[in-house]
Structure 1
Amino acid sequence: MKVELLSPAGNMEKLKAAINFGADAIYLSGKDFGLRASADNFTIEEMHEAFSFLHSKGKKGYVTVNIYARNYDFNELGSYLDQLKEVSPDALIVSDPGVFKFIRDRKIDIPIHISTQANITNYMAVKFWQQLGAERIVLARELSREEIRFIAENVKCELEVFVHGAMCISHSGRCVLSNYFNKKDSNRGECTHPCRWKYHLMEETRPGEYLPVFEDERGTYIYNSKDLCLIEHVGELIDMGVKSLKIEGRMKSSMYTAVVTGVYRQAIDTALKGEFKVDEKWIRLLNTVSNRTYTKGFYADEADENSINYKTSSYVRGSDFLGVVTSCEDGRLNFHCKGKINIGDELQILTPDMDEFVFKVDEIYDINVEKVEFTKPNYDYFFNFDIKIPENSIIRRIL
């Protein structure tokens, strides 16, 4: 069975990183009606560029229109959908039944996928949406492997499952903490992540006296979920008949997108050969990108205290993103700089085939072939390099 690797794209740079490192499809949002308002996202003009690039590579792209709409949203949604028709996305990702009906009533001939925000946790809900015309269902993250298997055995609709990335403490992301604390609606893409904050108790007869909550000597992070990682279960999910394996992270860096996509690409390809076995290299590489440590969550019945990160609400970072290779020929490795590099630094190059090269920086040249002692972000430079390195490879510092 052909299985799809679906990666996030918060902007054009991240989209290209996903495709270069092996994604079959990406999902993105316009400036409105998606659930990641803090991501760069795409203007209509940028979407035209994005889908032209994707379709030229034989890849697919899906546009999120998955807010929970208010009455006034429909005033602008119609014109936005008309613009999307010209972009020709391969599907729209929707969660609100009202938005679904609005799209259908306008006779917009774009396939619809039902978002994980719709909280689909059973096979009858899948059949309900399929009967209405949905072509794919993104299952809720709260499902176990047995529940996913049962659904897959009892429906004919395409199923999509999140396999990697951040998880919301609330049911499939339908949280109102952000609304309460900051008047920012997480169901409209404005989440301020109060689940990552530290909390104290206040006893109502002692206003202003804040009592620290200690689960252990570090305090408490009662809402602070670890990140999902199902790399060990890729083969199992494919065998169940899951059509699409999805990576979370439209707000993560292009290095994050590249590395995680590349790892899951190798895992899927290995599984499709009937030889699935977890490579320790995959685990090591996943630990080099930002994460809150990993859990298998509900999938493997780990959705308990073991799925909460009690140490810190900050990301663990195993590497610094320093550049992208733009070309490599005649012993000259050209790159676009993303972070400061100094003479003497020991760096790693990670190629789209997930080959790793470690080297020490002896000399750095700018585009005028002048030696420099260090680089500055967003400028172009080159190293002298004996090995032929593929374009779009990642340059980084392992921490």
Structure 2
Amino acid sequence: MPELLSPAGDFPSLMAALKAGADAVYLGLEGCNMRARAGNFTVPEIEEAVERAHGYGARLYVCTNTSLRDEDVERLELILPELHSAGVDAVIASDLAAVDLAADNGLDVHVSVQANISNTRSLHVLKDMGVSRVILSRELSLNEISGIASSSPIEVEVFVHGALCTALSGRCYLSSYLYGRSANCGECLQPCRKKWRLVSEDGEFELETDASGYIRTYLLSPRDLCMIEHIPELLDAGVSALKIEGRGRPADYVGTVTGVYREAVDRYLEGEWRFEERWLRELKKVFNRGLGKGFYFSEPEAGSPGNVSDYVKLDVGEVVNYYRKAGAAEVRLWRPLKLGDEIIIQGRTTGALIQRVESIQVDGCSVERVEDGHAGILVSGRVREGDLVYRRVPRDRG
């Protein structure tokens, strides 16, 4: 069975992924992964995360995929036995030292996309080192992936959704050059997402717009990957795992994207494939830089100006109490809320609960709108004290 693999930068995202149907979740080991600025997990937190994932029948993988120096290798030598004892299902690594150490400690090893694996012979070499899966280079086409998967001695995994990097499989030196913060050590400050101008040496030519007049100042910022329309082709190609990018994204993003791909994959496996336009509508509600197909069929499209999602989130309040028998929550609001609003309730254990407001009560009386203060609302699932409440509203295009 193909695996749907989702990201987790913190516990709310972890729970959102599990509740949305992820088969597996990947997270970062503090100090040793490619998202140093995202929420990462200590060893005790990983132990708790493993317990939660296994409670949902899901697997949990830990990223240790930065470039490693000798002191980093020494630290891993101490930590990997603890990850094995915690019940981690696999380690995602790119440095050969990390691959070797993980295998020596009895851990399954998945080789990261950072290793830029793009041919079958490399997979045979890695198998001999104890590797059980490889995340293939993002620069491969669907036809190339199919060819590799058909003769691979180990599992192959590919990214299907999320941010793309202008560099080769993410191996970039721009952040290091400009800011002294190495992308290869997980500290990328993403200067590629800024506006840039391309001017010829003699100053006579300046790239500003394309043929249709679209401003091309975001020269180094490709659109996000989105392969929701091509689930059948991916699975028919022999891919073992479909990976969603986004350990820097919030729980509602993780829950929404995981839920959409879960439904799509299940529909194909049930032999009833039919693409739904509403899937794209849901994906466009959360953070995205415009959606494209990456390298699967052609070169990725550049020119994304940043988040172009159709909706934005406004924090409106927090949960102060939950009443299980009534299926209701008491919330403290600091912004208005009315019947019909789409809300996101997000927390460490709750994950991301997304629903419409169907009932509001203030002092025991039903109301259609409340400006601020305490109110009771019906909720479609359990929430917890301290969970944040967001209202999802259409983006102002003006």
Give TM class, smaller chain.
Answer: 0.7 to 0.9
Alpha-carbon deviations, 1:304-324, whole Å to 9, x = none? Answer: 5xx1125x2345352426589
Q: CA deviation at 1:75?
A: 2.8
Whether the 8 Å contact between 2:94 and 2:115 is mirrored in structure 1 is: yes
Matched, 1:308 2:273: no
**2:58 aligned residue:** 59
Instruction: Map residues 341-380 of structure 1 onto 2, 5 A cutoff.
Output: 341-344=335-338, 346-348=340-342, 358-359=356-357, 362-363=360-361, 373-374=371-372
Over 3 Å counting, the alpha-carbon distance change for 1:65 and 1:3 in structure 2 is: same
**1:92 aligned residue:** 91
**2:246 aligned residue:** 249
Over 3 Å counting, the alpha-carbon distance change for 1:319 and 1:328 in structure 2 is: farther
Whether the 8 Å contact between 1:126 and 1:137 is mirrored in structure 2 is: yes
Q: State how far apart, in whole Å, the 2-side matches of 1:347 and 1:204 are.
A: 53
Task: Look up the equivalent residue of 1:23 and give its one-letter code.
Answer: A
Q: State how far apart, in whole Å, the 1-side matches of 2:363 and 2:33 are.
A: 42
Over 3 Å counting, the alpha-carbon distance change for 1:384 and 1:362 in structure 2 is: closer
Q: CA deviation at 1:201?
A: 5.6
Task: Look up the equivalent residue of 2:17 and give its one-letter code.
Answer: A
Matched, 1:383 2:376: yes
Over 3 Å counting, the alpha-carbon distance change for 1:328 and 1:120 in structure 2 is: farther
Whether the 8 Å contact between 1:347 and 1:361 is mirrored in structure 2 is: no
Q: State how far apart, in whole Å, the 2-side matches of 1:330 and 1:152 are.
A: 51
Moved more, 356-365 or 62-71: 356-365
Task: Look up the equivalent residue of 1:18 and give its one-letter code.
Answer: A
Structure 1 residue runs of 5 or longer lacking an equivalent are: 376-380
Task: Look up the equivalent residue of 1:228 and give its one-letter code.
Answer: L
* Corresponding residue pairs, total: 376
Give percent identity, aligned residues only.
36
Q: CA deviation at 1:129?
A: 1.1
**2:279 aligned residue:** 282
Moved more, 113-122 or 313-322: 313-322
Structure 2 residue runs of 5 or longer lacking an equivalent are: none
Task: Look up the equivalent residue of 1:165 and give its one-letter code.
Answer: G
**1:398 aligned residue:** 393
User: After TM superposition, what 4+ stretches of structure 1 lie above 6 angstroms from structure 2?
Assistant: 202-206, 323-326, 392-395
Task: Look up the equivalent residue of 1:164 and give its one-letter code.
Answer: H
Task: Look up the equivalent residue of 1:233 and give its one-letter code.
Answer: H
Whether the 8 Å contact between 2:138 and 2:295 is mirrored in structure 1 is: yes
**1:378 aligned residue:** none
Q: State how far apart, in whole Å, the 2-side matches of 1:343 and 1:60 are.
A: 38
Q: CA deviation at 1:223?
A: 0.5
Alpha-carbon deviations, 1:124-168, whole Å to 9, x = none? Answer: 122221122100111111111101111111113111110000000
For normalisation by structure 1, the TM-score amounts to 0.84
**2:328 aligned residue:** 333
Of 111, 121, 138, 1:124 maps to 121
Instruction: Map residues 127-206 of structure 1 onto 2, 5 A cutoff.
Output: 127-200=124-197
Matched, 1:38 2:46: no
Whether the 8 Å contact between 1:159 and 1:242 is mirrored in structure 2 is: yes
Q: State how far apart, in whole Å, the 1-side matches of 2:112 and 2:144 are.
A: 18
Over 3 Å counting, the alpha-carbon distance change for 1:144 and 1:113 in structure 2 is: same
SS of the residue 1:34 aligns to: coil
Of 273, 288, 292, 1:295 maps to 292
Q: CA deviation at 1:82?
A: 2.8
Instruction: Map residues 110-121 of structure 1 onto 2, 5 A cutoff.
Output: 110-121=107-118
SS of the residue 1:297 aligns to: coil
Q: State how far apart, in whole Å, the 2-side matches of 1:224 and 1:365 are.
A: 50
Alpha-carbon deviations, 1:158-180, whole Å to 9, x = none? Answer: 11110000000111000110110
Q: State how far apart, in whole Å, the 1-side matches of 2:70 and 2:39 are.
A: 26
Over 3 Å counting, the alpha-carbon distance change for 1:298 and 1:340 in structure 2 is: farther
Q: CA deviation at 1:34?
A: 0.7
Alpha-carbon deviations, 1:56-81, whole Å to 9, x = none? Answer: 22211000011111233223221122
Q: CA deviation at 1:103?
A: 3.4
Whether the 8 Å contact between 2:161 and 2:245 is mirrored in structure 1 is: yes
Whether the 8 Å contact between 1:234 and 1:271 is mirrored in structure 2 is: yes
Whether the 8 Å contact between 1:94 and 1:114 is mirrored in structure 2 is: yes
Q: State how far apart, in whole Å, the 2-side matches of 1:228 and 1:343 are.
A: 34
